[in-house]
Structure 1
Amino acid sequence: MGVEIKEGSVSDAEFEDMKRFVSDYLSASVENEDDGGRMRWYPWHSAEYRFNHILNVVSLATDIAEREGADVDVVRVASLFHDISKLEAEQEIHAEEGARVAREFLKTHGDYPESFIEQVCQVVADHSYQGTLTDVSMETQCLIEADILDKIGANGTSLMLLRMGYEARTHMDAAEMVERVFERGRDASRRLESDRAQSLAHQRLKRVKWFREWLEDEVPEMEHGELRQ
């Protein structure tokens, strides 16, 4: 007998509509704030960065879901909505607010099964969970792992270096800042449970280590030191 192919709940066209909605929602969240929003001068608190982060997480979470046997449609849609309220709600409640927005959209756009909507919204609501990932559903685990992975590696390094400019640091502080990315990424990656996420984390942390070594090799005045494993 062959492997049963399950027809997806969400078509490519429907997913593109969701992406447009999320992008527009984030932009409106910023435009509706008279003071420009909290810490909006940092690029990762802008609508453009937040949407790019969301797309990165969609890609990573989908990859993990496909490798680990999770419901890919649930993971893709939940990943797309997971930070939709990040720019308008306080950090402590942005996950619950994101689930509320996702539920309203899914109930009014398309004919999705109630069970699918509930699964998606539960994953969105749970994505800020800080406990052991074996305690949550596989779909939630995929999203949390992807969210962690997007903050480490080359992407995390570029954001940290960009932050240096906002903090009026010089390039001589770069090695220290890159090491901070490595240490935070290493610590965060200890939460990862799936084989695929652990493999991706290993690749990304290796890139940070290489960059730090290249930087010190080219700028001798920087303080040399070994990145702790």
Structure 2
Amino acid sequence: MKRFVSDYLAASVENEDDGGRMRWYPWHSAEYRFNHILNVVGLAADIARHEGADVDVVKVAALFHDISKLEAEQEVHAEEGARVAREYLETHGDYPASFVDQVCQIIADHSYQGSLMDVSLEMRCLIEADILDKIGANGTALMLLRMGYEARTHMDAAEMVERVFQRGHDASHRIVTERGQSLAHQRLKRVKWFREWLEDEVPQMDHEDGLL
């Protein structure tokens, strides 16, 4: 399955016209998207094991959740991902129909923005993992890469890391599982520490209050 998803993402970029939609952004590369997917698989499985969810359902849904991210518009990538996952699962192996249906439903709805208390435990695990991957080291690295694309200097680094923290802090309020909250706390603490490290070692960097 991993090889299929990786190859699908690579083909999605290669097939784009005119250099690709937002291709110059690092998060539009097949390499980044596949890395994000693997991170979400690991996080979602971790949460699922701690919370008593169906780990197999969660892992497969996580693996396919962004498979169409590079070829479909944001508004429909979840539904397209569910379609691709269903086609794969129904033609590669003898998976029970109930398993396929559950996996595809989670993928189709993983962009849900409402309360996670209102969704199934398995979907909760996936959505929380998707949030968590954006608020730790991965999100920080992407924000720093963005500095170069926006012609910023390294003196803006603390401000950009602050954005990661604030966005992560806001997004973490959606997380409801005990394991997810613990992981969010750990990640936000490290982002805060990194911002403080930057300010400590680069004397002229802006010292703006904001970290909680």
Cα deviation for residue 224 of structure 1 reads: 1.6
User: What residue is the counterpart of 1:112 in the other structure?
Assistant: 95
Task: Read off the aligned partner of 1:115 and give its amino acid letter.
Answer: S
- 1:178 and 2:161 are equivalent in the alignment: yes
Matching residue's letter, 1:21: F
CA distance in 1, matches of 2:31, 2:24: 12
Q: Give 1:38 shift.
A: 1.1
Structure 1 position 187 matched with structure 2 position 167? no
1:68 to 43, 51, 54: 51
Aligned amino acid, residue 91 of structure 2: T
The reply to whether residue 223 of structure 1 matches residue 206 of structure 2 is yes
- Asked if structure 2 preserves the Cα contact closer than 8 Å seen for 1:65 and 1:139, the reply is yes
Which of 75, 82, 85 matches 1:92?
Answer: 75
Matched, 1:165 2:148: yes
Cα shift at 1:223: 1.7
Give the TM-score normalised by the residue count of structure 1.
0.91
In 2: Cα distance, 1:201 partner to 1:75 partner: 19
Deviation of residue 125 (structure 1)?
0.5
Q: 2: CA distance between counterparts of 1:217 and 1:81?
A: 41
Contiguous gaps of at least 5 residues in structure 2 = none
Work out which of the two has the higher radius of gyration on C-alpha atoms and give 1 or 2. 1
Q: How far apart are residue 225 of structure 1 and its match?
A: 3.3
- The aligned runs of 1:127-142 (5 Å cut-off) are 127-142=110-125
- Aligned-residue Cα RMSD (Å) equals 0.8
| Alignment partners' CA distance in 2, 1:80 and 1:215 | 35
Deviation string, structure 1 residues 93-152 (Cα, Å, up to 9, x no partner): 000000000000000000000000000000100100000001111110000000000001
Identity %, equivalent residues = 83
Q: Distance in 2 between matches of 1:155 and 1:33?
A: 25
Structure 1 unmatched runs, 5+: 1-17
